[in-house]
Structure formats: C-alpha cells, structure tokens
Amino acid sequence: MKDQSLPALDKDPADGASILSVPRTIRDSVIRIAGNSQDGIQSVGAMLARLAGRSEMDVMTYMTIPATISGGPSIFQVHMGAGEVLTPGDTSDILVAFYQHSYEDHLDNLRDGGILLYDSTHVRPDIGVLRARRITPAGVPMTSLTIEVLGGTGKQKGKNIFLMGLLARAFDLDMKKVRKLIKERFAGKDESVVRNALLALNGGYAYSIGNVMSLYSFEEPEATGRPKVTMTGNQALAYGAIAAGVRFGAAYPITPWTEVMEQLRRDLPHYGGTFLQTEDELAAISAALGAAYGGTVSMTGSSGPGIALKSEAISYAVMAEIPILIVDVQRGGPSTGLPTNVEQSDLNQALHAGHGDAPRVVMAPANVEDCFYLVIEAVRIAHKYSVPVMFLSDQALATRIEAFNLPDLSTLKQVPPAPREALATHMAYDLESITCHAPPGTRIKDGKYPNITGLEHTENGHPSANPKTHAAMTAKRRDKLVALARELPPPEVYGPREGEILLVGWGSTGGIIRESVDRAASQGRTLSSLHLRHLNPLPEGLEEIFLRFQHVFVVEMNDCDTNGCGHLGRLLRAETCLKRIRGITKTDGLSFRVREILQRLPEVETAAETP
C-alpha cells in the first residue's frame, strides 16, 4: 500500500505547493509518452519498466494499440516508484509529447502542476493554458537533436533513446544500468546499431533541460534482496503455464491472446513440449483435449470469439472429464467488437459456454504476478478434479508490464504427466471417487479398457440412458466443484472488515480497486474491498462478509442489467440474494480509473437496504 504521508509529487493541485518551489525526492511518478506507434515509444516504456524492476521499484505500465495496421497515434504510460504501484496511474505527472496531436490529445490527462516535456521540433504548446494549469513546459528539439547526434542522416530512429537519456537525467537514473539495458535490447544486432543507440542516449543525457526536471530523484526503495522480474501479463501467463507443467498447447491466433501462443510455441520445445497452431479454434481445443487424454498437461486459449467456437468442446471436456486449461484473454465485445480494447464481458460465457449442465472452474488473475501464480493453481485444479478450467485474463493485463519478485521455483508444484503404470482394474467414471483417467498406454490387467465419451455413461464409460445413471453422473460432475469450493482460501477483505461500503472486483481491476480504497482513505473516507480470483465455484463465506457492509458495489468492465449489476454482480445476487449488491460497471473499452470508481459511490447515503 502506498503510504500517503511520504513526500510525493503532488497528486492534488489543491494543496497549492508548486512543483518548482522545492527540490525533492519523489516516491513515484507517472510518465506518459505520446507519439505514433512507429516511434518506438513502447521500447522506451518497456526499458523504463525494466529499469524500475532492476532498481527494486514497483512499476505498472499501460499502452494503447492503434486500431489500424498501418499504425497511428499511440501512448505508453509508466507508473514507477518506491512504494507499491497498484495502477498505471489515472493522470500523469509528466507528459512527453512527440507531436502536436500527442500534445492536444493528452494534455487533459496531465495533472495540474505537472510537467510537459515536448519535442519542440513538432509541438507548439499553448502557454496560456499551461500557465493556468500550473504546468511546467520543457521544450526540447528532440527530433533535430537526435538527427544531429546521429550524424544527420535524416533518421529519427533514435528519438526514443534520446528521450530515454533525457529522462535518465531528469530522474537521476543509474546510467550504468540504462546502458546495460540498451546493450541487451540491441543484443545480436549490428555493432553500429548499439553504438548509435548509446550516442542518442548520451545526447539526451547531456542535454540540460534547465532546472525543471533535474530536481527529482526517486526515493530509495527498501531493498528486499530478491530481484524483480518485469513482464507483461501475457508473458507471465505463458511462463506460469510452463511452470505449471503444461507441455502441450494448441490455438489459433487472435488479439490479444496471440502473444501467449507465440511465446509458448517458441519456448515449449525447450521443455520437451510443443505448441500447435491449428486451422481454427475448434481444432485447437480438440488437439489440446487429445493431448490431455494422452496424459500430457495441456492447454488452449483464445479471446472471446474463439472461446465461443470452443463451446461445444468445453461441454465435452466437462462430460468426458478431461483436465484442461482454457485461457480467455478478453477484449471488447460482442462479436469482433473492440479487438484492442479491454473489457470483462466474457464472464458469462466462461461460466456458461456450451450446452447442458456443464460445471467447469472459472478463475481470473488480479494482476501480472497472478497471471504467473494463478495459472499454476488453475492447472493443479484442472488435474485434481479432471475438469476444464476457464482462465480469464484481459487486454489490459495482457499488455501491461508489472514488476514482481523473481519466483522461487523450488516452492512451486508442477503437475507431472499422467502416470502410466499398469493397473489391476480401472473404471473411467467411478462414482465413488473423483475421476482420474488412465491414459492410453496404461495396461489394465483385468483386460477391460476404458472408454472416454461425451455420451452419458456408466462408470466404465459405456453409453447409458438409465435415468438413475444420468442423475448420478450429473451430480458427480457438479460435486467436484462443491468439493473444490471447500478447499478454496477464504476471501480476504482489504480494509476494515465491516463498514459502509465494500467494493468487490475480479480480474485486472485488482490494483485499481485497492488504490481506490487507499485514495478514499487519504480523503478521509473508509472503504473496504474484496477481490475474487475464483468465480466458479465461488469461495465460501461471501454472504457473511457482504452482510457486514451496508452497500456492496461490484466493479466490473461490462454491461449492467436494470438493477445496475454486471456479470459478477448478478452472479453474487443469485448466490446470496442480497439487494445491497449493486454494480459499478462501464463499457467504454478503457480500464477503470480510481476517480471513476470513487465518483460513482453514493454520497454518505447510509439508509439501510430495503429487502
């Protein structure tokens, strides 16, 4: 939790302190770089993030992806600092504007009293406006200086690295580390590329922006001794899957899932596994199920449209009881929707895709670190209960970079491939125990080999339309989830255990909701929050928790019903029948901001709920 009492860049312009008045150490800062997608702003952003990680700072990034292939305006925002960084930042402390359109589109996002660092080759700011908002302008002819430094061949390619130098100077960053980063970034490239990059870096570092920005240096974070990794949610998910024991995967490309499969395709062979790009999503889940049947820990994934195509096979996985991880990196929907925007509107699909009574597990990571650890838990659950697990990431998590402690692999449990020792006898669908298939290759000594099937079946997998059998098998499939629910960690409330308002969330909004609680506290208002990683089955004890609050607001990025509830809100209402559960939902394709959440809370309205 970010300690609000430490000196920080003023988040609240109302306190009147000018940024120019005193030189100070800052705890965290939000830097937004706005340019075009071709400018390499993503690599500066990523380097800044990595640098933060290497300095044991916390970091979270945010980026937008231009809607067209040919590129276009794009931003990359880095929130880094010594405290716990929970959001990519509602507003920025520093705006870097490469072009006039960057300046115009993003000035609103710069907080009053912030700093505008602009490329004076392209941008002409409106000084009147800046003055009124107490924004400090710092114009640097980045384009022309870069060309100058690199020898005037007209390349502006180093502009981003030049900017890196500027920022290194402004924040008093460790130049040794920065140079190392740059060398790593261009490793394998031509010598001259690295040389040019270092030239540009030094050029930026040497340029004096005046006394505006050289005044800041980040507070020293507490040394934990444990190095930090920085990566995107998609990367963390892929590494988590590998750590979990996944050795086969199959999928079809789709934004924003694609990087997961690309990485697994590249990396799995190093672990003796493989990843298959199939002709479509139906083939993908089928191949993954085939491998899982073979005893290999297996997964598939997609985004909303592709998961829809997998629906029939998901129903099969439930019926045949095949363990499998199914990742949905959600984007804006419905249909092709908003492919490069964020939304949490696939929860209903995750819960209900496919026909018939088909209970499956649904889980969602709260942040990048979770993408790594929770996927390991998901794979464990899939195998313990022979059940498909739907894993709901989203576009925001997929693309944002966060830092977290280098995992200690020795403490993690990996699911091994299914054993194939000979068995005396085997019933595929034993009613007395949780299903655990004997993979093909297993000798069954009594000579009766098992059938795996999507027809309703007897305990040994033969078709049966017997009424009792169907009822018993339906219960068997459902009861696994009941057993899992009992095993889940009890939900933890952040903030006071009872009170006026509880915010409930799931998925990528984890940090934003916690930050909302903190921000409210700093404004003198007490909130609590609860973040659900397990959406089906839900952990036990939710009703008791909700009853301790007058209002329960479920914050989610999806559409609401007439009661104002989104997907999770409705689920929780169905589960607990509490009308105090309402929703704070939106469908604009953007991540929540702390401000948006706080603004939508009732004004000290404490009237008890009507039943």
Partner 1 sequence: MQDTNTSFPETAANGTAAPEHAHTLTKAQLKADKPTWCPGCGDFAVLAAYQKLLEKLNVPQESIVTLSGIGCSSRFPYFVNTHSVHYIHGRILPFTTGLSLTRPDLHPFVFIGDGDAFSIGGNHFDHCARKNVRMTVIVMDNQVYGLTKKQTSPTSPVGFRSKTDPWGSKVTALNPTKKLISSGASFVARTIAANPAHLLEMLEEATNHDGFSVVECLSECVQFNGGCFDGAVPRKGGEFPLVPDDHDVTDEEAAYALTKKRFPGYFGVYYKSRRPTLNETEAEIVGQAESRPKGLLASEVLMSALERLT
**Span 442-501, contacts to partner 1 by CB under 8 A:** 442-444, 447-455, 462-463
Q: Is 422 exposed, middle or buried (0-12, 13-18, 19+ CB in 10 A)?
A: exposed
Q: Least distance in Å: CB of 133 to partner 1?
A: 34
- The site map against ligand TPP for 316-355 (x = CB under 6 A) is --------------------x-------------------
Round to whole Å and give the CA distance between 300 and 348.
19
Select the binding partner of residue 235 from ligand TPP, its own copies, partner 1, none (C-beta < 5 to 8 A, by kind).
partner 1
How many residues are present in the chain?
611
Q: Which is nearer to ligand TPP, 147 or 254 (CB)?
A: 254
- The site map against ligand TPP for 261-300 (x = CB under 6 A) is --------------------x-------------------
305 binds ligand TPP (CB under 6 A): yes
37 binds its own copies (CB under 8 A): no
Size of the site for partner 1 (CB under 8 A): 93
Are the CB atoms for 149 and 187 separated by under 8 Å?
A: no
What are the strands of the beta sheet with 493-494, ordered from one edge? 493-494, 528-532, 499-506, 549-556, 581-585
Distances (CA, A) of 95 to 92, 110, 126, 213, 225: 6, 6, 15, 12, 32
544 binds its own copies (CB under 8 A): no
Round to whole Å and give the CA distance between 356 and 302.
22
Q: Least distance in Å: CB of 75 to partner 1?
A: 19
Read off the tokens for 225: 């001794």
Q: Least distance in Å: CB of 176 to ligand TPP?
A: 43
In the set 64, 255, 348, 474, which binds partner 1 (CB under 8 A)? 255
Q: Least distance in Å: CB of 482 to ligand TPP?
A: 30
Helix, coil or strand: residue 118: strand
Q: Is 314 exposed, middle or buried (0-12, 13-18, 19+ CB in 10 A)?
A: buried
Round to whole Å and give the CA distance between 501 and 491.
16
Q: Least distance in Å: CB of 309 to ligand TPP?
A: 6
Q: Tell which phi-psi region holds residue 56, choosing left (phi > 0), alpha (psi between -120 and 50) or beta.
A: left
Q: Least distance in Å: CB of 204 to partner 1?
A: 25
**Contacting its own copies within 469-528 (CB under 8 A):** 470-471, 474-475, 478, 482
DSSP 463: B
Q: Which is nearer to ligand TPP, 253 or 334 (CB)?
A: 253
13 binds ligand TPP (CB under 6 A): no
530 binds ligand TPP (CB under 6 A): no
288 binds partner 1 (CB under 8 A): yes
Distances (CA, A) of 286 to 199, 307, 312, 331: 52, 12, 10, 23
Q: Which is nearer to its own copies, 127 or 574 (CB)?
A: 574
349 binds its own copies (CB under 8 A): yes
Tell me which residues touch ligand TPP (CB under 6 A). Answer: 252-254, 281, 305-306, 309, 336
